[in-house]
Amino acid sequence: MLVASTALSLIAPIAAQASDFNIEDINSYSRSKSSSKKQRKKFNSKLFDVVTSNENIKSSEKVTPQFEAGAFSETTTMDGKAIFYVGSVDTDDDTYTGEVIANYTYQMNVNTTFSGDDNLYVRLKSGNADNWSDIKTKHNTYLSAAAGKSDNFSVDKIWYSTPVGDNTTFWIGPKIENYYMHATTPSIYKGVLKAFTLGGNAAAYGASTSPGAGLSYNFDNGIALSTNFTSQSGNTSTGMLTDEALTSWATQIGYTQPQYSVSAIVNMKYNNWEDSYFKTDLGSDRSFNDEGSVNIGLRGWWRPEETGTIVPSISLGYDTSETDRDTDDSTDAYFVGLNWQDAFTPDDRIGIAFGQPQAREGDPVDPFLYEIFYDYKVNDSVTVTPAIFGGTANDGSGGNSDMTGYVLNTTFKF
C-alpha cells in the first residue's frame, strides 16, 4: 500500500489538472472475459482514488490530491516490482576495477481495457543504473534488470493494442519496441544480461523505444505472422516513415507448439539505425552513409514435458547483418541458452547462456560472452538471483578487454 500510494502521488498532480475527467464513463466499461495472465492488483474501493476538482485550477495554486474510496475504474489493473542489485565488474582495460556497485530499478505496469479485449499499457519506471549501462557497448555488461534513469520516474513504455477479428492484433503507440509486436516468442530463456534476451539481442532483434505500429495474425495450426515498425525520428520534425527517418521494419514468421517453436525474422533498418547490445566494436562501427542494413534472425526453443529433471529447456539464436554498402562489413552472432526449472526447490531456476556478440570480419579475435545464475524464490513475491558473467575479448579488439562480473539481484513483486 505504501509503495502504491507513493507512486500514485507522483501521478496525482497530473490527474488533478484534468478538471473534466469523467470517472463515471470509465466505470461503465467492463471486461468481457478474464485474462489468461496472472491476475494483477486492481485499483478498486479497497485501494484509493484521486478526487479532482471541477473548478479551474490556477497555475499559482498548490494542488493537494485527496484520496477516497471507489472512484478508479475496475477495468484498470496494476502490478509492479522493485529490484535491488549489488555487484561488481572487473575489466582488463581498467574501465572497471572491481568496485562494489549498488543500484535499483522500480517499475509499475498499468493496464486498462475499454472493451474487455483491448488494452492500454503504460510502464512507469525509475532507476539509477547508469554506471552499468555506461560500458554496455564495449563490454556487454548491461543487466536486464537495470534501468539507467538517473533516479527520474517517468513513462518508459506506452501503447494501445486491440484485436481485429478473431486472429489479428493491432498495436500502436508513441513508446513501443518492435519485439512487443511479434507474433512468435523467439526465446524462452530468462537470464541476467540484456545481451541474452530475445535469443541474442543483436542486429535482427535489436530495437529502440520509439513511436511505432504493427499487426500480427495467428493461424489456428500454430503458424503466426507479424510485421511492425518503429521510428527513432517519429517524435521529431523528421517524422515517421520518411526518407530521412531512422526506421526499423521487422517481419517475422513462426511456428509454435506447446513444447517447441521455430521462427525467422527479417528486420530492415534505414538511415544509420544502430543497435546497442551484444556486439563488438567493429560490429557496431559500420559506416552506413545514411543507408541501411538487412538483418536476418533465426530462433528456436524446446522444453521438456516435465520440469525438475536433468534435462533443460534450450533456446538458440543466430543473426546475420549486411549493410547496403559495396564493402564487406557484414556481421554475425549466435546464442545458446539453457534453463533448468524446479531444479532443487519448486519454482527455482538455473540458467547458463553463452554466445558470440555481433562480430565483423576483421575482428582480431573471436569474441565470447557467458553468464551463469541461480533463481531462488523466497516466497511468491521475493526472488534472489546470484549470477556470474563475463567475456573473453567480447568487444573483439584483441587487447585487454576481458571482463568478469558478479551481481546479486533481489526482486520484490507486488
d(CA 24, CA 331): 56
d(CA 107, CA 359): 33
Domains of the chain: 1-74 (no CATH), 76-413 (2.40.160.10)
Distant-in-sequence, close-in-space partners of 62: CB < 8 Å, separation ≥ 6: none
d(CA 179, CA 162): 17
Angstrom CA distances, 37 to 110, 119, 175, 410, stand at: 14, 13, 23, 23
Assessment of whether the complete model's pTM goes beyond 0.75: yes
- Biggest distance spanned by C-alpha atoms of the chain: 68
Three-point CA angle 121, 217, 266, nearest 5°: 90
* Cβ atoms of 374 and 344 closer than 8 Å: no
Beta strands 382-392 and 368-377, pairing class? antiparallel
Q: According to DSSP H, which parts of 61-187 are helical? A: 130-133, 136-139
Q: What is the pLDDT of residue 45?
A: 33
- First and final C-alpha spacing in the chain: 10
* Cβ atoms of 295 and 269 closer than 8 Å: yes
What cell was used for 271?
Answer: 538511415
What cell was used for 241?
Answer: 516513415
Distant-in-sequence, close-in-space partners of 342: CB < 8 Å, separation ≥ 6: 307, 308, 348, 349
* Cβ atoms of 322 and 289 closer than 8 Å: no
Tens of pLDDT along the chain (414 residues) come to 333 444 434 434 433 333 333 333 333 333 333 344 434 444 333 333 333 333 333 343 444 444 444 455 789 999 999 999 999 988 887 777 888 989 999 999 999 999 999 999 999 999 998 766 554 456 778 899 988 888 999 999 999 999 999 999 999 999 999 999 999 999 999 999 999 999 998 889 988 899 999 999 999 999 999 999 999 877 777 778 777 788 899 999 999 999 999 999 999 988 877 766 677 766 666 555 567 889 999 999 999 999 999 999 999 999 998 887 666 678 899 999 999 999 999 999 999 999 998 887 766 677 889 999 999 999 999 999 999 999 886 655 556 678 899 999 999 999
Q: What is the pLDDT of residue 208?
A: 84
Q: Bridge partners of 250? A: 228, 267
How many other C-beta atoms can be found within 10 angstroms of the C-beta atom of residue 143?
A: 25
Q: What is the pLDDT of residue 34?
A: 38
d(CA 53, CA 17): 8
If you write DSSP's letter for every residue of 77-120 in order, what string do you get? EEEEEEEEEEEEEEETTSS-BS--EEEEEEEEEEEE-SSSS-EE
* Cβ atoms of 359 and 332 closer than 8 Å: yes
Three-point CA angle 194, 200, 201, nearest 5°: 55
Distant-in-sequence, close-in-space partners of 165: CB < 8 Å, separation ≥ 6: none
d(CA 211, CA 229): 8
* DSSP letter (8 states) at residue 143: B
What cell was used for 280?
Answer: 563488438
Q: What is the pLDDT of residue 391?
A: 87
Q: What is the pLDDT of residue 329?
A: 76
